[in-house]
Structure 1
Amino acid sequence: MERRSFVRGAGLAGVLAAGAAPAIVHAQAAVRWRIASSFPKSLDTIFGAAEVFAKKVGEMSGGKFQVTVHAAGELMPAFGVVDGVQNGTVEACHTVPYYFFGKDETFALGAAVPFGLNSRQMTAWMFEGNGLKLMREFYAGYNMISFPCGNTGAQMAGWYRKEIKSVADIKGLKFRVGGFAGKVIERMGGVPQNIPGGEIYQALEKGTIDAAEWIGPYDDLKLGFNKVAPHYYYPGWWEGGPQIDLFVNQKAYGALSAEYKAIVDAASAAAHVDMQAKYDARNPGALKQLVGSGTKLARFPKDVMELAFKESMELYSELNAKNPRWKKVYEDMAVFRRDQNLWFRFAEASFDDFMQAQKL
C-alpha cells in the first residue's frame, strides 16, 4: 500500500498501532515554532500548559517538529501576543482570549464572560456544540486559528485590602480584573485595571490598586497575594470556566502537513486536560495553607452577586444590539448555557451539594 494513502485510510491512531509511524515521521520536513506566552514561567500550571503542548508535539513527531515556549516579555509583552501571531512575528501564542476584548468584545466569548459557562460546559460547547466553529470563524479575521489549550476551572474572586460588606464597597474600588469582566465592574462603580500576572503583586503591595484577582489558591499562594491583602473572596463570577487558547498563525498552520496538523490538534487537547487536572489537584492544599496562615476567606455578599448578574445581562443585551459578531456567538452560547444548566441542576449539582456537606 502506498504510504500516504495508508495514513489517510488508517488515521494517526492506526498508523501508530501498526508501527508505521517512524518511517512517516522521518519523511516529514523539520519544523520549528515559537510560542509567545502571556504568562510568567513561575506559574507552572498556566504557563506550563504551553510546555506540555510543546513536549507532546516533539514526542509525537519523533523530534522533527520542535516548539519553544517564551514567557511574557521575552519576545513581546503579555498583551501583545495576538498582534504577534496575526502579523506572523511568531507562529503561535498561548493566552486568554478575553485579554483582547478591546479589539472586539467577541474575543471574551472564547474564554469566559461573567455568569457564562463552567469548565465542563465550556469544553462541551467547544467540542460538541458550535463554540469552536464560531470562534474560529471570528478569529479568521485576525489571521489566526484557535485550539483549546487549557482551563483553570471556576476561579476565586480575588484579594482585597479591605472587607467587602455590600455593593457600596465596590464603588471606587481599583480592582485588577482580567479583561472583559472589567466592563461589569465599571458598571458597578468600580475602577477596573488590566495588569499582567507578573506585575500584580507590586501594584497591590504599593496600594496602586485596592484589590486583585488572578486564578485561585495554587497560583495566588505562589504570587504571595496573601501577604499584602488579607481578604479572599469567592466565587469569581466572571470566570466560571475560563478557557486558555493556543492561537496559531494561519499561514504557519497551512504550511503544515496533514500529519503535523493532527499532532497540533492532539497535543493541544492533551494540554487542555492537563491544565485543569493540575489546578484541581493543587488548589485544595494551597487553600489550606492560605487559611492556615491567616487568610480571611469569605463569600461575596448576595447584593454584590445580584447586581453583578443584573449588570452583566444588561451589558449583553447592549452588545447584541451593536455588535453583530458578538451577537452571533453569544446567542448560540446562551442557548447552550440554558440547556446545560437545566441538566447540571439535577445530577451534577445535587451530587456535589450532598457530598460537600459530608464529613469525610
Structure 2
Amino acid sequence: MSFSMSMSRAIRLIGGTALALTLTAPASAQTKWNLPAAYPTDNPHTVNLMAFAKDVAEATGGKLQITVHPGASLFKAPEIKRAVATGQAQVGEVLISLHENEDPIFGIDVIPFVATSYQQSYKLWQASKPAIEKKLAAQGLKLLFAVPWGPQGIYAKKDLNTVEDMKGLKWRAYNVGTSRIADLVGAQPVTIQAAELPQALATGVVNAFMTSGSTGYDSKAWETMSHFYDTQAWIPKNITFVNKAAFDALDKTTQDALLKAAAAAEPRGWKLAEEKAGWYLDQLKANKMKVLPPSDALKAGMLKIGEQLTSDWIKKAGPDGAAVIEAYKKM
C-alpha cells in the first residue's frame, strides 16, 4: 500500500471519527441518572420524587435527567441503599429504618411514641439530621431530603383490646422495631417489604401488621383485614440520597440546581404526607374497615412497649444517640 493511499485512508478515518464525536457531543453533555424507589406510582413519596426529577430537569435545561423507577422495579427496598452506594444507581429513596442494623441512628424515627405528630416528627428529624448525614457521608452517600409517612397503626383480622390479644399473630415486620414489637407481644415476626405485602396478605403469610394508612391503601388491606387501630405510634421517614462520587462529577451549576430542587422537595413532601394521612383513613373506612382508636388497655400496653424499645435503642445508640434524644426534647 502506497504512502499516499495510507495517508488518504487515515485522513478519512480521522474525519469520520471527528464527525462521530460531533454527532454524539450533545448526548454526552446530558447526564442520565436512575432513582430506584420502593412504592407505587401514585404513592405520595413517588409523586414527590417525580416532581423532584421534573424540577431538576427544568432547572438544568435537561442537562441532568433523573428517571424514577417505582414499585421496587429496579431494586427491592432493602437493596436500594447499597445500589446507590456502589454506583449501580446514582440516587435513591429508602425507608431509612430498614437499615437500623447498620447503625441505631437510622432507626430513631421508629421508636414508639417518641414522636407521634408531624410537628414532633419534624423536630426529631432536625435533631437527628446531622448524625444521619454524617453516617451516610461515611458510606459514600450525600443526603438530599427526608419525607414522612403517615402515623403508624395496627391492622388485624380481629378485635385487639389488649396487647395480649396480639399473641400468636403472624406479624409483618419491616425493620428492627417492628420485629421487636412482635417479640414483646408474643407474635411471630415475618419480614415482608411493602411491595410484597399484598401477596403476603392474600396468601396468609401474615395476618396482622403495623404501618401507615397509605401502605394499607396501597396493599388493599381491606381485602384481608377488618380492623385498623389508629395508635399513631410513630411517623417513619423515607430519605433520598445521592452517590457522592456521582454528585461530585456534576458541574457546580448542576449541583446547585439539584440541591435547590431537593430543598423544595422536602417541605412539599411533608405537606403532601400530612394532607393525605386523613384521606387514606377515609379510604379504609370507605372499604368497610373498622378504623378505631386503641382501647385504653391497648394504648397502655403499647406505651409500655414503647418505653422498653426506647431504653433498648438508647443502650444500642450510646452517648451519641442519647444526645440526639436530649436535643430533640429541648426543641
Range of TM-score over shorter length: 0.7 to 0.9
Q: Which residue of 2 aligns with 1:83?
A: 82
Amino acid at match of 1:113: I
- The alpha carbon displacement at 1:52 in A equals 1.6
Amino acid at match of 2:158: K
Q: How does 1:131-280 map to 2 (within 5 A)?
A: 131-153=128-150, 155-182=151-178, 183-216=180-213, 218-237=214-233, 239=234, 241-280=235-274
- The alpha carbon displacement at 1:339 in A equals 3.0
3-state SS, counterpart of residue 46 of structure 1: helix
- The alpha carbon displacement at 1:172 in A equals 2.0
Amino acid at match of 1:197: A
Amino acid at match of 1:281: E
Q: Could you list the per-position Cα deviations for residues 126-145 of structure 1 after superposition, in whole angstroms to 9, with x for gaps in the alignment?
A: 44x4x222111112232212
Further displaced range: 252-261 or 81-90: 252-261
Q: Which residue of 2 aligns with 1:35?
A: 35
3-state SS, counterpart of residue 93 of structure 1: strand
Q: How has the CA–CA distance of structure 1 residues 283 and 309 changed in structure 2, closer, same or farther, with 3 Å as cutoff? A: closer
State how many pairs are aligned. 303
Runs (5+) with no aligned partner, structure 1 = 1-25, 341-360
Give me the TM-score of the superposition, normalised by structure 1: 0.75
Runs (5+) with no aligned partner, structure 2 = 1-25
- The alpha carbon displacement at 1:309 in A equals 3.0
Question: Which residue of 282, 288, 311 corresponds with 1:288?
Answer: 282
Q: How has the CA–CA distance of structure 1 residues 205 and 257 changed in structure 2, closer, same or farther, with 3 Å as cutoff? A: same
- The alpha carbon displacement at 1:177 in A equals 3.8
Amino acid at match of 1:102: N
- The alpha carbon displacement at 1:333 in A equals 3.0
Contact 1:105/1:180, CA 8 A, preserved across alignment: no
- The alpha carbon displacement at 1:55 in A equals 0.9
Contact 2:231/2:299, CA 8 A, preserved across alignment: no
Please give the alpha-carbon distance, in whole angstroms, between the structure 2 residues aligned to 1:168 and 1:234.
18
Amino acid at match of 1:269: A
Q: How has the CA–CA distance of structure 1 residues 306 and 336 changed in structure 2, closer, same or farther, with 3 Å as cutoff? A: farther
Q: Which has the larger radius of gyration?
A: 2
Please give the alpha-carbon distance, in whole angstroms, between the structure 1 residues aligned to 2:137 and 2:267.
25
3-state SS, counterpart of residue 116 of structure 1: coil
Amino acid at match of 1:305: K
* Alignment RMSD: 2.6
Q: Could you list the per-position Cα deviations for residues 213-238 of structure 1 after superposition, in whole angstroms to 9, with x for gaps in the alignment?
A: 3321x55334311121111111231x
Contact 1:147/1:247, CA 8 A, preserved across alignment: yes
* Sequence identity (%): 21
3-state SS, counterpart of residue 150 of structure 1: strand
Amino acid at match of 2:110: A
Please give the alpha-carbon distance, in whole angstroms, between the structure 1 residues aligned to 2:289 and 2:246.
47
- The alpha carbon displacement at 1:91 in A equals 0.9
Q: How has the CA–CA distance of structure 1 residues 162 and 105 changed in structure 2, closer, same or farther, with 3 Å as cutoff? A: same
3-state SS, counterpart of residue 330 of structure 2: helix
Q: Which residue of 1 aligns with 2:57?
A: 58
Please give the alpha-carbon distance, in whole angstroms, between the structure 1 residues aligned to 2:320 and 2:166.
30
Please give the alpha-carbon distance, in whole angstroms, between the structure 2 residues aligned to 1:227 and 1:318.
35
